[in-house]
């Protein structure tokens, strides 16, 4: 396995296809797997390589007919276990540090680390947070600024599995009792050395967000389609009440304006009035007063 991976990475380096920062010359090799077409396939690819295509995905194992459960994946990956452990220790190649990560969709990753998944009592594979905590969270995000977050570790996964195994009776289903042991139900299938080397595919995260938004849009459309008449009637009532309220405000403003106008009449043509007073022209004063009243 290591010689095959080394050849692939060496070829990418020689072709100048590696993308990385100058300060940290690391090459990440992503191990993954997926079920489709009646078979389960395992492959690896160089993650930070540009101008990639399907030929840059290197399949090293396949089995047909079986499900992608942890027992089957464990059986297939067992011959590669020591190689995967050695590769995760990292090695240097032409001045680059080669590091291995575990990728794929969430189902494959959860199966490989023997974790029940995001719908479990403890819905995060990287920290000890319960569903109950998230449900009572309010509007604050689950971040170190708002919560005391305890990260999981590979040793923690092993201890949780051992506790689950010891507490269960013979013949019991460890998947069901996993809810009492931080949602860990088996020994890890993929021999990870560091939980930070679990990297979910960004595509699946984006698809999940878009699907959620699309479902919200569909729900809104169903509400509008199912109660269109009621919706329009409700909008008309709201608009009528709004007009009534504004009409009251306008009427009140008009009363204030009329009241102010009665005072304003006394100050109309003030300069002309002063001139008439200084000139002693009473006839002009009467004319100005009559004009102001009108």
Domain contains 39: yes
Nearest CA-CA partner of 1 in 79, 97, 101: 79
Residues 131 and 58 in one domain: no
| pLDDT value of position 266 | 57
Domain of residue 248 covers: 232-293
Do 88 and 62 lie in a common domain?
yes
**Are residues 164 and 39 part of one domain?**
no
Comparing C-alpha atoms, which of 120, 99, 84 is closest to residue 48? 99
Do 77 and 137 have their domain in common?
A: no
Would you say 122 and 131 are in contact if contact means Cβ atoms under 8 Å apart?
yes
Helix (H, G, I), strand (E, B) or coil at 52: coil
Tell me how many domains the chain contains: 3
The model's confidence at residue 44, banded by pLDDT at 50, 70 and 90, is: very high
- Residue 249: the pLDDT is 85
Average per-residue pLDDT for the chain = 84
Q: Are residues 98 and 237 in the same domain?
A: no
Residue 269: is its pLDDT beyond 90?
A: no
Average pLDDT of 97-113?
90
pLDDT of residue 273 exceeding 90, the answer is no
The verdict on 7 and 80 lying in the same domain is yes
Whether 105 has a pLDDT exceeding 60, the answer reads yes
Q: Is 116 helix (H, G, I), strand (E, B) or coil?
A: coil
Both ends of the chain: CA-CA distance in Å? 104
Is the pTM higher than 0.75?
no
Looking at the structure, do residues 60 and 121 belong to the same domain, yes or no?
no
Asked, for residue 152, whether it belongs to a domain, the answer is yes
Co-location of 245 and 278 in the same domain: yes
Rounded mean pLDDT, 248-252: 83
How many whole angstroms separate alpha carbon 74 and alpha carbon 283?
114
- pLDDT tier at 227 (50, 70, 90 boundaries)? low
pLDDT of residue 251: 81
């Amino acid at each position: 396995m290591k010689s095959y991976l080394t050849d692939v990475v060496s070829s990418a380096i020689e072709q100048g296809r590696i993308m990385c920062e100058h300060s940290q010359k690391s090459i990440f090799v992503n191990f993954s797997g997926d079920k489709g077409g009646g078979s389960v396939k395992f492959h690896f690819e160089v993650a930070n390589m540009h101008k990639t295509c399907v030929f840059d995905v290197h399949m090293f194992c396949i089995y047909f007919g079986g499900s992608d459960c942890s027992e089957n994946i464990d059986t297939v990956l067992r011959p590669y276990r020591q190689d995967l452990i050695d590769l995760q220790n990292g090695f240097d190649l032409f001045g680059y540090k080669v590091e291995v990560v575990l990728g794929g969709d969430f189902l494959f990753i959860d199966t490989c680390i023997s974790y029940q998944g995001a719908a479990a009592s403890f819905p995060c594979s990287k920290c000890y947070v319960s569903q109950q905590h998230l449900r009572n969270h309010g509007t604050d995000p689950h971040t170190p600024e708002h919560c005391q977050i305890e990260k999981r570790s590979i040793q923690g996964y092993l201890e949780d599995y051992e506790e689950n195994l010891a507490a269960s009776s013979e013949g019991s289903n460890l998947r069901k009792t996993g809810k009492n042991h931080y949602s860990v139900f088996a020994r890890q299938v993929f021999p990870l050395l560091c939980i930070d080397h679990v990297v979910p595919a960004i595509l699946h995260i984006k698809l999940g967000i878009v699907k959620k938004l699309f479902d919200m849009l569909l729900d809104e459309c169903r509400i509008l389609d199912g109660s269109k008449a009621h919706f329009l009637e409700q909008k008309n009532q709201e608009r009528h009440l709004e007009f009534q309220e504004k009409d009251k405000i306008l009427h009140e403003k008009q009363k204030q304006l009329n009241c102010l106008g009665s005072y304003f009449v006394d100050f109309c043509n003030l300069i002309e009035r002063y001139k008439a007073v200084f000139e002693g022209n009473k006839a002009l004063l009467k004319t100005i007063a009559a004009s102001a009243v009108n």
